[in-house]
Amino acid sequence: MPLPLPAAILLSPALGAFVLCAIREDRDALIRRLAVTSMGISLACALAAVMTYNPVAGGYQHEVVIPWIRSLGINVHLGVDGISAVLVLLHAICAFTGVLISYAIKERVKEYYIFYLLLITGVFGVFLSLDLFFFYFFYEMAVIPMYPLIGIWGSDVKEQGVVRFSKEYAAMKLTVYLTLGAVVALTGILWLYASSGAKSFDLVALQRHLASAPLAPSLQQWIFPLLAVGFGVIAPMWPLHSWSPIGHAAAPSAVSMLHAGVLMKLGSYAIIRLAVGLLPAGAQMWLPWIAAIAVMNILYGGFVAMAQKDLKLIIGYSSSSHMGYVLLGIACLSPLALDGAVLLMFAHGLMTALAFALVGHVYDETHTRYLPDLGGLARQAPFIAGCGVIAALASSGLPGFGNFVAELLVFLGGWDRYPVQVICGTFGVVITAVYMLRFVRGTFFGELKPAFAHVRDAATPFARLPYVALIAVLLLIGCWPKPMLRLIDASARPLIERIAPSPMQEKYADVDSLDLQPLAPRETP
């Protein structure tokens, strides 16, 4: 029997990390080639998994089940549905391009790649696990390597030459914050496990059990916020977001790419899969709050981004602002909005990876990320500048890029339930345009500062590959979103329909009766 796809996706970077341990430190070229190969395999398998997923059949596919601890009901259970397939592909693309971008790392290459591959394995594990125990296990596995990655290979966040946040602070804060969130979520998971009566950590079994014997709403009301807030920390949900922009800013570019591109999506994915998926009554109770928080994310994050002067902090706060749309899409409890939220996770992941990659290039070349110090780089680095303009336009939701389709779906899906929040969200798009264009204007346009006369472009096809790949995928799903939407919708729609009938159907029932009923003679007072 050939190796099932999810196992191959997961094992390739894990094995890569193990093999790297055995290689001599000074063999940089070999180390890099090995990392690229292992990620290439994962990417190919992820693509295959997405291509072969059958949206008509729906549900979990490519499943692998290996019983592990029977007495506790813990299995090694891997598999994908439409939502996780898309996110696995996102992660594979970001990780593959991240490995390529990591060629800029010159110190302690071996250790760097080991940690990086472990991080990648952890994230794949979360998306692929259909067992709560391993879900949590991989989640922690993804968080831990961030500490050395930021602490060793990161850079301080400076403001006019003065250190504002040291990389040690950023690393410590991120790790402690995310672990704290994870522990809160773990409490929720264990409570859920104990009270469900299914005696199983297996997500599929749990889901089946809860469908026939749902938890009491009084219980869901408590477990839901534990899961939503615990995983919301990484989403990042306002006001628990402050680890993220600083973490992004201090991390090396390839790590920021994964971090903002994929790691944040772990939170929203967990909320969709566990909190909303398993606790429908809790969801209905708490989602209006999440919608309100989402608006805070969008507007507050956007305005804070507007006030930043460090390029990575701008992109970092923009990420936390854009994740607000994802949260809003989840909170709307409508299939369209959830489709949009998942598609936005994908599109935003690529866009933000692109932005961090090019900011990393700018930083490597100029040794500064402070906006007022930069200027006119387009003359020296037209390719990178072009990518910068594209990232800015994609980020501000220009049609043609995936972000537009995704945001459109969130707004359309959310209009009935939360019109005010949707209008605020639309305004967020204006804010995005303000700070993204300022970023482009300040970095690439204007007169070239003499200090940057020797800045180099990404000139070789190999150096350009990650940028071109990210842009190509963004354009592809922006121009022809149908196949991917079909995939997402196959899993998002059943999930929502289990929970909530659409409010418009109720409204229409009214209208029908209005038409059919004979007009009662009106009494005049």
Residue 370 touches other proteins, criterion: CB under 8 A: no
Q: How far is CA 99 from CA 1, 105, 131, 225, 463, in A?
A: 30, 10, 28, 36, 12
Total number of residues that touch other proteins (CB under 8 A): 60
Nearest to 345 by CA among 36, 139, 62, 82: 82
Residues 6+ apart with CB under 8 A from 510: none
For residue 162, list its beta bridge partners.
Answer: 159
Place of tokens 């780089």: 377
Q: Is residue 239 within the footprint of other proteins (CB under 8 A)? A: yes
Sign of CA dihedral 377, 382, 383, 386: positive
- Residue 304 lies near other proteins (rule: CB under 8 A): yes
Minimal distance in Å, beta carbon 199 to other proteins?
37
**Within 13 Å and on the Cβ side, how many CA atoms surround 85?**
32
Report 273-302 residues binding other proteins (CB under 8 A).
300
Give least dist CB 201 to other proteins, A: 31
CB hemisphere CA count around 280 (13 angstroms): 15
Coil/strand/helix, residue 64: strand
Which is nearer to other proteins, 214 or 386 (by Cβ)? Answer: 386
CB of 183 to other proteins, least distance (A): 15
Please pick, from the candidates 24, 106, 454, 482, the single residue that binds other proteins as defined by CB under 8 A. Answer: 482
Q: Is there binding between residue 500 and other proteins (CB under 8 A)?
A: no
- Minimum distance between the CB of residue 32 and other proteins, rounded to whole angstroms? 29
Q: In this chain, which of 339, 395, 458, 473 binds other proteins, going by CB under 8 A?
A: 339
Q: Helices 311-331 & 335-366, crossing angle to 10 degrees?
A: 170
Report the residue from 66, 69, 307, 420 that binds other proteins according to the rule CB under 8 A.
307
Q: Is 399 among the residues that bind other proteins (CB under 8 A)?
A: yes
Beta-carbon contacts of 52 under 8 Å, excluding residues fewer than 6 positions away, are 5, 61, 62
Q: How far is the CB of 495 from other proteins (least distance, A)?
A: 14
Binding window for other proteins (CB under 8 A); candidates: 33-41, 59-67, 109-117, 375-383: 375-383
The single residue among 434, 469, 499, 500 that binds other proteins, judged by CB under 8 A, is 434
For other proteins, which residue of 179, 187, 221, 502 counts as binding (CB under 8 A)? 502
Binding span for other proteins by CB under 8 A among 47-55, 105-113, 196-204, 428-436: 428-436
Helix residue spans in 367-502 (DSSP H): 377-380, 382-395, 402-414, 419-443, 461-479, 482-499
Please identify, using beta-carbon distances, which residue of 14 and 436 lies nearer to other proteins: 436
**CA neighbor of 370 nearest in space, from 467, 470, 451, 491:** 451
Site for other proteins in 175-234 (CB under 8 A): 176-177
CB closer to other proteins out of 37 and 242: 242
441 near other proteins (CB under 8 A) = yes
Question: What's the rounded Cα separation, in Å, for the pair 312 and 250?
Answer: 8
CA nearest 404: which of 474, 500, 509, 487?
A: 474
Tell me if 405 contacts other proteins by CB under 8 A: yes
Residue nearer to other proteins on the CB measure, 45 or 496: 496
Phi, psi of 256 (to 5 degrees): -60, -40
Alpha helix segments (H runs only) across 308-381: 311-331, 335-366, 377-380
Between 199 and 379, CB nearer to other proteins: 379
Which amino acid is it at 412? L
Cβ closest to other proteins, residue 364 vs residue 512: 512
| Spatial separation of the C-alpha atoms in residues 487 and 24, rounded to whole Å | 43
Among 158, 199, 464, 493, binds other proteins (CB under 8 A): 493
| Residue 33 within binding range of other proteins, rule CB under 8 A | no
CA dihedral in degrees (360, 365, 371, 372; nearest 10)? 170
Query: Is 376 one of the binding residues for other proteins (CB under 8 A)?
Result: yes
Footprint of other proteins (CB under 8 A)? 173, 176-177, 239, 242-243, 246, 300, 303-304, 306-308, 335-336, 339, 376, 378-379, 389, 393, 396, 398-400, 404-405, 408-409, 411-412, 415-416, 422-423, 426-427, 429-430, 433-434, 437-438, 441, 444-448, 481-482, 485, 489, 493, 502, 504-505, 507-508, 511
